[in-house]
Amino acid sequence: MTLEKERKFIGIFAKCSEAELALQELQAANFPMHKVSVIARKAEEQSDIASVKDKEDTGNTFEEFTGGTLGGLVSCISQLAIPGMGLVILAGVEAKAIATTITGGAIGVAAGSLAGALLPLGIPEDQAQVYSDLVFQGYYLAIVTAIEIEIRFAQRIFNRHSIQHLGIYQPYLSPKSRYKHGIGVFSRQQDVETALTELQKAGFPMSQVSVITKGNYYPLGVPEDLVKYYEHQLNLGNFIVFLNATDIYMAGARAILESNKIQHFRIYNRSAVQQITSDRQVISNL
C-alpha cells in the first residue's frame, strides 16, 4: 500500500482576526493543528498591517499574534529579523523549518529571504516572491502540510474566513533528490581561501565542502576526459574544490567560486558522482 504524499496548501489572510477564526474552527473540528503554520511581519504601526486604516480593528496586532488565541493554536512560535523586511513572527513546525532555512543563510537568487526559503516547498520563484511581498505588507501567510482530503477540508474552512491567494504545491520528494555535486579547480591557494571565506559568510554549509590536493581523484560517472583533467591538475599541484548541495545553494556557491577564479567548474547529479580515494589528501573538509 502506497501512502499518500502530503502537499502544501498556502493562503493569505488580510487580518489576524480572520486567521484566528479560521484556526479556531479547524481546531474545533479536530484538525491536526501540528500541520498548520502561520507567518506574519511585526508591524511598527497598526496601519502597517495589511494596509488596514481602521484603528478600531484591533485584531491585527503583534501582541495578539504572539500572545493571544492565534499564538495558542499554533505552536513553535519564534521571531526572526529578515533583511529588508524587519522582524517576522513564525508559528508552527513548517514555519520553524523556514526560519531555519533563512538563518542557515540559503544563498542564491533570493539569498537569505523569505521568498528563497519558500522555494523548497515547491512554490515557483515568482509566486514565492508574491507571498513574501504580502507578508512584508502585513498580511498573514498560512501553510497547511497535509494529504488531499485534509487540504480540501482546511480550504473549505479558510474560504469562509476570506483567505486569499490560494495555492497547492508539491514539495521536493526528498532532500537527497535535490542534491548535486560541484567540482572545480583553483590554481592558487590564496584564491581557495578567499572563496571559502566568502562561502562561509554567505551561509553555505561548509561541512559540504572539500578541498583536495595530491594523490588520485577519480569521480565515477564523470566523462573520462574530465577525470584525466582533474588528475592532471592535482599532479600540477593545483586544488580541487568539491561541493555537495541543493540547487539553491549550488547556484549561489557557483557565483562565488567563479568570482574567485575557479576553473572548469562542473555540476553533476548526485547519483553520477562517487569518490574513490587512493593516496588522496583532503586538506579541508569543513
pLDDT band at 55; cut points 50, 70, 90 = very low
Closest CA to 167 of 198, 131, 139, 133: 131
Q: Determine which of 22-36, 52-66, 125-139, 188-202 has the lowest per-residue pLDDT on average.
A: 52-66
Mean pLDDT of the chain: 74
Find the mean pLDDT for residues 105-126: 68
CATH number of 178-285: 3.30.70
Task: Please give the pLDDT value at position 57.
Answer: 39
Q: How many residues does the chain have?
A: 286
| Pair 37, 43: CB distance under 8 Å | no
- 120-149 confidence digits (pLDDT tens): 788 888 888 899 999 999 999 999 988 899
pTM for the model: 0.55
Find the mean pLDDT for residues 37-45: 75
Task: Please give the pLDDT value at position 72.
Answer: 60
170: phi > 0 → left, psi -120 to 50 → alpha, else beta; which? beta
HEC string of the chain equals: CCCCCCEEEEEEECCHHHHHHHHHHHHHCCCCHHHEEEEEECCCCHHHHHHCCCCCCCCCCHHHHHHCHHHHHCCCCEEEEECCCEEEEEECHHHHHHHHHHHCCCCCCCCCCHHHHHHHHCCCHHHHHHHHHHHHHCCEEEEEEECHHHHHHHHHHHHCCCCEEEEEECCCCCHHHHEEEEEEEECCHHHHHHHHHHHHHCCCCHHHEEEEECCEEEEECCCHHHHHHHHHHHHCCCEEEEEEEEHHHHHHHHHHHHHCCCEEEEEEEHHHCEEEEECCEEEEEC
Find the mean pLDDT for residues 12-30: 91
pLDDT at 174 over 60: no
Task: Please give the pLDDT value at position 215.
Answer: 53
pLDDT at 155 over 70: yes
Task: Please give the pLDDT value at position 229.
Answer: 82
pLDDT at 205 over 80: no
Find the mean pLDDT for residues 57-71: 50
Show me where the domains of the chain are located: 7-171, 178-285
Task: Please give the pLDDT value at position 223.
Answer: 58
Tell me the C-alpha to C-alpha distance, in Å, between residue 61 and each of 80, 85, 118, 140, 179. 17, 17, 24, 11, 40
Task: Please give the pLDDT value at position 172.
Answer: 54
Find the mean pLDDT for residues 16-44: 87
pLDDT at 218 over 60: no
Question: Which is higher by pLDDT, 50 or 33?
Answer: 33
